[in-house]
A and B are shown apart, each in its own frame.
Chain A
Amino acid sequence: MDFKDYYQTLGVERGADAAAVKKAYRRLARKYHPDVSKEPDAAARMSELNEAYAVLSDPEKRAAYDTLGPQRPTGAGQGASGGERGAQGFQPPPGWASGFEFSGGPGGMEGEGADYSDFFESLFGHAAAAQGRGGGARQAARGRDHHARIDIDLADAYAGATRAMHLRSARLDGEGRVQPTERTLEVRIPQGVKEGQLIRLAGYGAPGGEGMPAGDLYLEVHFNPDARWQVEGRDVTQTLRVAPWEAALGGDVDVTTPAGGTLQVTVPAGSRPGRKLRLKGRGIPGNPAGDMYLVLDIVWPPADTPRARELYAAMARDLAFDPRADANPTPRS
C-alpha cells in the first residue's frame, strides 16, 4: 500500500487553509467530473479528488492524517507518527489515530465510500477497526450504503449475466492493525434491468456499528455504448436497412436482435425512409416488457456495373418520378 499525499492530489500546500482546500477541490472537480470531462482518466482522478477532499476538508481527519506526515524512507525507523514503509509499502503505526474522533458516523466517510483507496480504507474506512483503535465513542448505526457503477451489454439486460466485482474493505489483524481486504464477488445481474436502474446487494455495504446490520451495495447499471441500438427505458430502437424493392413492394426480412436471435419482420409495401415499425414486447424483458422499434433506412445498390446502370436508366425512363415535385413551385398559368 502506497502512502497518498492528499495535498499533492489537490495541488495545495500543507499549510493551506480550509478555503484554499475547498477552492482547489472545486476547480479540479469541474475539470475531472466524469459526466462532463473529456479526460480519459476522469473517473479515476475524480475518485482521487473525492478521497483527498474527504480527508482534508474534515478537521479531525486532516489532523490525524497530518500526524503521519510525509513518508519516511525505508530504514529510517518507526515512531508514533510518520508511518512505516517496508516490503509491504506504507503501514500506519498502531494507535496512530488515538485522540481523534472522525466525524460522519461509522466509517467516518461521506459520499462515494466504495471508490476510496486501500490507503484511505486502512485509515478511516472501517467502523469496528476505528473503535478498536480507540477512535472515540460512536453511536451504533446501520452501516453506510455503498454505490458503484457497473457496465453491461444490452444483451445482458435481455438474458441476465454474471459479473465479477472486486470489493474493498478493511479488518483488524491479530496485532490490531487495519488490513485492507479485497473480496471477489460473483454478481448475478437479473434479466430485465434498465439503464440507470439500481441493483441492490443487501449487506454488502459498510459494516454497521455494534449489533447493527451492514449497509447495502447499490450497483448503478449502464449499458456499454453500441451504435446499433438506442435504449429508452425498456424500449429499444434500431435501424433496419432495406433494399428499395423491399420498401416499395413489401416483404419479409430478417432482423438480428440484441438478444442474439433473429426475427422475421414484414416490411409493409410503400414504406418510406424513417418509417417506424413496432414489435410489441420485443424490447428489454420485464413487467411490462419494452417494445422494439425498427426505423427503416433504404439503401440503394451502387450503379457500378453496366447492368446496374441499365436498370437505373430504365427506372428513370419508365417511372417519370420527380423526387422534388413537392418542393418545386407550380408554374402559374
Chain B
Amino acid sequence: MSRETSSSVTGVLLDDDTLGLHDFAHTCAVEPHWVIERVESGLIELPAQGDGVDRVQWRFASTHVVRARRMAFVERTMDANPELAALVADLEEEIARLRRRLGD
C-alpha cells in the first residue's frame, strides 16, 4: 500500500441548520423522497418552521444525520418498516444519553 501525508485541513462544524434536503439525503445515502416521507410522518422531527414552509427550505442538523443513517441502516439490513427503525433509533439515542450521564 502506498502512503501519503497530506497537509492540514480545518473541519467545518455542521451547525443546526446547515443541510438542505438534497445535501441531507446525499449525506445519509438515501433518496430525497425517503427523507420527505419520514419528516412528514414525524419519524424525523424538524424544529418548528411554520406552516407552508417549502421542502427545499427544510434545514437539517447533525443529530438528524446520525438518526437518519441509523434508521436507514436498520431498514436496509433488517427489512424493518420505518416506524420500527425509528423506534430502534429512539432507543439507541436513549442508551447514548444514559451512558453520557453515567460517564460510561
Residues of A within 8 A of B (CB): 1, 25-26, 29, 35-36, 53, 110-111, 118, 142, 144-145, 147, 162, 179-190, 192-202, 204, 215-216, 218-220, 225-232
Contact = CB atoms under 8 A, between A and B. Distances in A.
Given A145-B26, A198-B62, A184 B95 contact: no
A219 B100 CA distance: 19
Given A188-B9, A200-B11, 12 more contacts: A35-B95, A111-B29, A144-B29, A179-B1, A184-B4, A185-B9, A187-B9, A190-B13, A192-B13, A199-B13, A219-B11, A225-B103
B29 A110 contact: yes
B41 interface: no
Contact of B1 (A1, A53, A190, A200): A1
Nearest to B65: A198
B104 interface: yes
Contacts of B39: none
30 contacts: A1-B1, A35-B92, A36-B92, A36-B95, A118-B1, A142-B26, A145-B27, A145-B29, A147-B69, A181-B3, A182-B1, A183-B3, A185-B8, A186-B7, A187-B9, A188-B9, A189-B11, A190-B11, A195-B100, A196-B63, A199-B14, A200-B13, A200-B14, A201-B9, A201-B11, A204-B9, A218-B27, A225-B104, A226-B103, A231-B100
B87 interface: no
A188 B11 contact: yes
Nearest to A186: B8
B103 A183 contact: no
Nearest to A30: B78
Contacts of A200: 11-14
A219 B62 CA distance: 10
B6 A183 contact: yes
A187 B12 CA distance: 10
A255 B10 CA distance: 32
A156 B100 CA distance: 17
B8 A188 contact: yes
Number of chain B interface residues as a range = 20 to 34
Given A35-B96, A229-B103, A182 B2 contact: yes
B100 A232 contact: yes
B76 interface: yes
A122 to B, nearest CB: 9
Interface of B: 1-14, 26-27, 29, 62-63, 65-66, 69, 73, 76-78, 92, 95-96, 100-101, 103-104
Contacts, number: 113
A185 B92 CA distance: 31
Nearest to B13: A190
Nearest to B79: A22
Contacts of B103: 225-230
Contact of A196 (B27, B66, B77): B66
A162 B8 contact: yes
Contacts of B73: 111
B11 A183 contact: no
A188 B10 contact: yes
Nearest to B26: A145
Contact of A220 (B1, B66, B95): B66
Nearest to A29: B77
A184 B13 contact: no
Contacts of A227: 103
Nearest to B27: A145
Q: Which 8 A-B pairs have the closest CB atoms?
A: A199-B11, A186-B8, A227-B103, A198-B14, A198-B62, A188-B10, A197-B62, A180-B1
